[in-house]
Amino acid sequence: DQQVKQNSPSLSVQEGRISILNCDYTNSMFDYFLWYKKYPAEGPTFLISISSIKDKNEDGRFTVFLNKSAKHLSLHIVPSQPGDSAVYFCAASVAGANNLFFGTGTRLTVIP
Amino acid sequence: DAGVTQSPTHLIKTRGQQVTLRCSPKSGHDTVSWYQQALGQGPQFIFQYYEEEERQRGNFPDRFSGHQFPNYSSELNVNALLLGDSALYLCASSLREGINIQYFGAGTRLSVL
């Protein structure tokens, strides 16, 4: 049973525009959420995270929004750059447990 | 500051064989987790080691076992390999205390023929 879902396998965006990647979860016990970026032949790289006590966290061009009532989070990248082209994974964890539950990923392509 | 390192990078085995994968955590980290990533899927949690003991385990059979050494490095062992064990195996390290941000290595690509 997939507890974290990324329903868009791929997304293409023009350079300079906004990229919005979405993630839904089913387990209401999740209280910490992370986004990872993965380039080919590399491991996932931590990008940004958010605690369930917040609804927004910003770091430079990256902003994560959390809607607990909808069990939905999104990652906004503004402005998008060609170097952002990668697979993005959403992950979640439960307090007191250290394993991460991952979505299946969204491949972002930023077109120059 | 070295990040998480894994060896080997690639491995080819045949069904029924046994394999050992190795991981060195990021400097200062005391906790190591192992994940399996099948093609087109997200990483799936196998187990986590802290203070040389398995602390948490995902939905994987006993064929998957591990070890953590006093220097915090870790090994993942898989016995009686099946074709379905072909995947990218990722090691992640973190600090036991504090927020759960895990840092990943580049992985070991295992192919079972």
Closest Cα in chain A, distance from residue B44 (Å):
7
What is the structure's pLDDT at B1? 62
Chain B contact for A8 (CB, 8 A cutoff): no
> Could you tell me whether strands B10-13 and B64-68 are parallel, antiparallel, or unpaired per DSSP bridges?
unpaired
| Whether the predicted pLDDT of B33 surpasses 90 | yes
Provide the 3-class DSSP secondary structure of residue A100.
coil
Cis status, amide bond into A82, omega within 30 of 0:
no
Provide the 3-class DSSP secondary structure of residue A19.
strand
User: pLDDT category, B100, cuts 50, 70, 90?
Assistant: confident
The percent of residues in chain B predicted with pLDDT above 90, rounded, is 89
Of A34, A99, A105, the CB nearest to B48: A99
| pLDDT tens, residue by residue, A51-86 | 999 999 999 999 999 999 999 999 999 999 999 999
Pairwise CB contact (< 8 Å): B58 & A102: no
Task: For residues A96-100, give the mean pLDDT.
Answer: 82
Closest Cα in chain B, distance from residue A112 (Å):
26
**Mean pLDDT taken over chain A:** 95
Chain A residues in contact with B58 by the CB 8 A cut-off are 99
Instruction: Tell me the CA end-to-end span of chain A in Å, nearest whole number.
Output: 38
| pLDDT tens, residue by residue, A3-57 | 999 999 999 999 999 999 999 999 999 999 999 999 988 899 999 999 999 999 9
Closest Cα in chain B, distance from residue A5 (Å):
10
Q: Name the nearest CA neighbour of A32 among A108, A84, A97.
A: A97
| Whether the predicted pLDDT of B97 surpasses 80 | no
In chain A, the residue whose alpha carbon lies closest to the alpha carbon of B94 is A98
Residue with tokens 């995947």: B87
User: pLDDT category, B85, cuts 50, 70, 90?
Assistant: very high
